[in-house]
Amino acid sequence: MKYRSSPESIVGSIAPLVTPFTATGQVDTDSLRALVRWQLASGSHGVSIGGSTGEPSAQTVGERIAAMAAGADAVGDRVPFLVGTGSAKLDETLELTQAAYDLGADAALVITPYYARPTQEGLYQWYREVARAFPDLPIVIYNVPSRTAVDIAPETVARLYADLDNVVGIKETTKDFEHFSRVLHLTEQRILVWSGIELLCLPLLALGGRGFISAAANLAPAAVAQMYDAWERGDHYTARRLHFDLHPVVDLLFVETNPAPAKLVLAQEGLIASPHVRPPLVPVTRTGRERVAQLWAAGRAARAVAPAAETGLEGVLG
């Protein structure tokens, strides 16, 4: 909980990890810990688990908490640790958020409740209840309308930010870039905003965004982290070059439903034990595998970016 009292220090590339499973479908906490170590060695500025890339809706509450515990142990307060705690059910969301709090998470990433398609007033009351239940835990709204079928309006975000001290930010996973801008404008640029859309990560920094929670960091963590670092030091040429170098990696992620392609590559690279995804997701098809291989080769420039500091990657699976 090193960063819990200063959420404004949660900046840069916060890597939203896949949840590894064994070949028979159990949560693989050994591989999860190895991924955390690789992210830290690669220069990621923070780690997030339990977001969409982590397949939370395919796990039990107990499994999600076990993954949280493994992640918290591996991170060990070295970088900010954000945990996805949202669910379609309020009681599960509260249980998961309590677990995140107890395990020392620096912030809870709470997705808009999916399937029900609540009104803006319903969303306001949902987040108010979660935030009031955990007044000492920073709450980050997670807006991802492509998965939840509901878009939290900028006005609702601003209302929550004004009314609740611990609603500190939002992860924007919408291609409507005006949404980013209006959220910042309505909160007088005080709310913390992270991009969850890979190709909007760099543009968001120009508006005052705090960084990104980009699935591309699963495959090219050093490149994603250094894109932020380059922007911050004013080296916009390098930041743009890395942005464009990452295009094939981004395209790879969505050859078929995320995170199946990412897990395929991570398994092939020996970073997780199995590419297993849980139903209703399925393994990448033969045609998809061919396309993934092409894009992985095309993304060699992003893959070749070395960590900014020579921390070494030896034994990341040990």
Active site residues: 142, 171
Contacts of 116 (CB under 8 A, 6+ apart): 88, 122, 150
CA atoms of 229 and 211, how far apart (whole Å): 10
Contacts of 6 (CB under 8 A, 6+ apart): none
CA atoms of 90 and 88, how far apart (whole Å): 7
Residue keyed to tokens 């092939």:
268
CA atoms of 215 and 204, how far apart (whole Å): 16
Contacts of 219 (CB under 8 A, 6+ apart): 249, 252, 253, 262, 265, 266, 299, 303
Token duo for residue 261: 């392609």
**DSSP per-residue string spanning 5-66:** T-GGG--EEEEE----B-TTS-B-HHHHHHHHHHHHHHT-SEEEESSGGG-GGGS-HHHHHH
Nearest CA among 179, 210, 215, 221 for reference residue 199: 215
CA distances from 147 to 169, 204, 283 (A): 20, 21, 20
